[in-house]
Amino acid sequence: MKLSDEHFEKALRLIPWGTQTNAKRPIPFFNETMPKFIERGKGCRLWDMEGKEYIDFRLSLGPVTLGYCYDEVDDAVREQMKKGVLFSMASPRELELAELVTATVPNADMCRFMKTGEDANLCNVRIARAHTGRDMILMSGYHGYPDWFATDDSPNNGVPEVIKDYVKVIPWGNCEEADRLVRTYGDRIACIISTAYDFNEDTSGSFIRHLRALTREHGILLVMDEVLTGFRLAPGGAQELFGVDADLGSYAKALANGYPLSTFVGKRKYMETLDRFRLTTTYAGETLSIAAAIATLTIMKREDVHGHMRAMGTLLMGHFNDMAKEIGIEGTAMGLPVGSWLKFTTPDEEFNQRLSYLWARELYREGIFANTRWFISYSHKAADIHEAAAKARTALKRALECEPRERATAIPFYW
């Protein structure tokens, strides 16, 4: 038994799941190849408890945009640590970061800080309800664990069934269902909250543009959940990339290069609704994460971070297409360069699913940390991409040689 296996058995006695995050639970079918714990990271590399090195394309589920232990960011945190982490009044650094955020994010006249993506989403829903005087929301995509975003499994997950009367779900990308729900409940709907881009095959932005037109026509607020897309797809996120004018927006993961911080932003007339009620938490002004975010956004303004990530992602997508052609398997690179994947496209969908599963398993064996989407950071260089592609080819060849009756399973895709 490996050291990490022993550690995991002990963790399960004290920690449900043995971890804090659903997407970081070990995948049982990858037990022989996927590490259960990561000891440390630097740049685009990770090391597990046994000391094995991986090139990482999960990036801690999205927050790490510059790279692990990025020197300028960590230096800023250490410098702030000398002054203090949390005070009895606001830190002046809050304004410094607010100026950077509002200058970077489209339609962000004002902003406030929280700690997680779901915090920011909940705050925007509250603002929308308070401003409109309406109770219902429509949601599309994943917005976190809170009750309002978890009605599908109610009441088995502890969410009261009555909340289903106030939340209706639009399957992501389904414009017809969005239209139907707005026609049915229009004068009850405070907002539509939707992920801007679901990291799927449709990279056009047409769905979020449709929601913008629909909400504007019916006097409904549009909340763009940019927890994952913000500061990753472009400096101003999907609003900038797709040219969508949102009323309120939620940003988190890439904001502080892994330090826990989120922000909810919006047009002044909506954000000033906060003058009428309390929306507050003690740790929102924690200065270490704020210092990290200031450093992260400063680097993004000074250097072509997003151009580099697009270039490295484009290079990787080229490798995906080349390896499929060289190996003789039907497949093509899909998605945007900052988070792409190789989709197998044979006529046999069961075979495609089985091959995806086996390839993912073998990637871990080869020292590639990737799940269904391959995220790119500023620390990924061309040499890392070429090395990863060579290992991915080896893994794909081995996957094709595996016993064809091996059990296939859909790989969890979580943020």
CA-closest candidate to residue 143, choices 260, 221, 229: 229
Is it true that the peptide bond before 63 is cis, omega within 30 degrees of 0? Answer: no
Sequence-distant (6+) residues with CB within 8 A of 310 are 337, 338
pLDDT of amino acid 4: 92
pLDDT tier at 403, thresholds 50, 70, 90: low
Nearest residue to 175 via CA among 206, 138, 141: 206
Do 266 and 330 belong to one domain? no
Residues 95 and 236 in one domain: yes
Q: Within 10 A of 328 (CB to CB), how many other CB atoms are there?
A: 7
In this structure, what token pair is assigned to residue 29? Answer: 């079918």
User: Are both 297 and 309 inside the same structural domain?
Assistant: no
**CA gap 125, 131 in Å, rounded:** 10
Average pLDDT over residues 136-155: 93
Considering the domain architecture, whether residues 227 and 117 belong to the same structural domain is answered as yes
Rounded to whole angstroms, the Cα distance separating 33 from 369 reads 10
C-beta separation of 321 from 348 below 8 A: no
42 and 125 share one domain: no
Cβ atoms of residues 232 and 253 within 8 Å: yes
Name the residue range of residue 165's domain: 71-302
pLDDT beyond 90 at 132 = yes
Residue 404 has pLDDT above 70, yes or no: no
CATH at residue 254:
3.40.640.10
pLDDT tens track for 221-271: 999 999 999 999 999 999 999 999 999 999 999 999 999 999 999 999 999
pLDDT of 2 higher than 90? no
Number of domains the chain is built from: 2
Environment class of 143 (CB within 10 Å of its CB; exposed 0-12, middle 13-18, buried 19+) = buried
For the stretch 149-188, pLDDT in tens is 999 888 999 999 999 999 999 999 999 999 999 999 999 9
Decide if 222 is inside a domain: yes
Reference 190, options 218, 212, 169; nearest CA is: 218
For residues 138 and 234, membership in a common domain is answered with yes
**Structure confidence at residue 28 (pLDDT):** 86
| Residues in the chain, total | 415
Residue 363 lies in a domain: yes
- For residue 372, how many other CB atoms are within 10 A of its CB? 17
How far is it, in rounded angstroms, from Cα 31 to Cα 299?
38
On whether both 249 and 112 belong to a single domain, the answer is yes
Domain boundary among 302, 322, 343: 302
Both 211 and 171 in a single domain? yes
Distance CA 37, CA 24 (A): 9
Tabulate helix, strand, coil % of the chain (nearest 5): 45, 15, 35
As given in the structure block, the two tokens for residue 320 are 């995906």
Q: Where are the beta strands (DSSP E) in 189-260?
A: 189-195, 221-226, 248-251
Q: Look-up: residue for tokens 């040689």?
A: 401
Q: Is 414 a member of any domain? A: no
- Is residue 352, in this structure, part of any structural domain at all? yes
414 pLDDT more than 50: no
Tokens of 301: 């303004």
Beta-carbon contacts of residue 376 (< 8 Å; ≥ 6 apart): 57, 309, 312, 313, 316, 337, 338, 339
Amino acid identity at 394: T
| Residues 6+ away with beta carbon under 8 Å from 287 | 80, 83, 84, 85, 86, 87, 91, 93
User: Could you give the 3-state DSSP secondary structure of residue 234?
Assistant: strand
- Mean pLDDT, residues 378-400: 97
- Is residue 411 assigned to a domain? no
The answer on pLDDT for 415 being more than 60 is no
Residue type for 258, please? G
CA-based nearest residue to 314, from 244, 389, 257, 239: 389
Q: Enumerate residues 6+ apart whose C-beta is below 8 A from 23.
A: 61, 412, 414, 415
Q: Tell me, yes or no, whether 292 lies in a domain.
A: yes
* Same-domain pairing of 323 and 298: no
* 385 within some domain: yes
Q: Pick the last residue of a domain from 302, 336, 354.
A: 302
| Ranges assigned E (strand) in 43-188 | 45-48, 53-56, 110-114, 136-140, 167-169
Q: Note the pLDDT tens digit of each residue in 199-220.
A: 999 999 999 999 999 999 999 9
C-alpha 80/C-alpha 98 separation (Å) is 17
288 and 326 both lie in a single domain:
no
Contact partners, residue 217, CB within 8 Å, separation at least 6 = none
User: Region 14-39: what's the mean pLDDT?
Assistant: 92
- pLDDT single digits (tens) 263-321: 999 999 999 999 999 999 999 999 999 999 999 999 999 999 999 999 999 999 999 99
Q: Give me the CATH number covering residue 57.
A: 3.90.1150.10
Q: Would you say residue 347 lies in a domain?
A: yes
Whether cis (ω within 30° of 0) applies to the bond prior to 155 is: yes
The amino acid occupying position 220 is I
With a CB cutoff of 8 Å and minimum separation 6, the contacts of 146 are 118, 121, 122
Do 218 and 108 lie in a common domain? Answer: yes
Residues 45 and 80 in one domain: no
Separation between Cα atoms, residue 7 and residue 37, nearest integer Å: 9
Instruction: Calculate the average pLDDT of the chain.
Output: 95
Single residue among 267, 302, 337 that ends a domain in this structure:
302
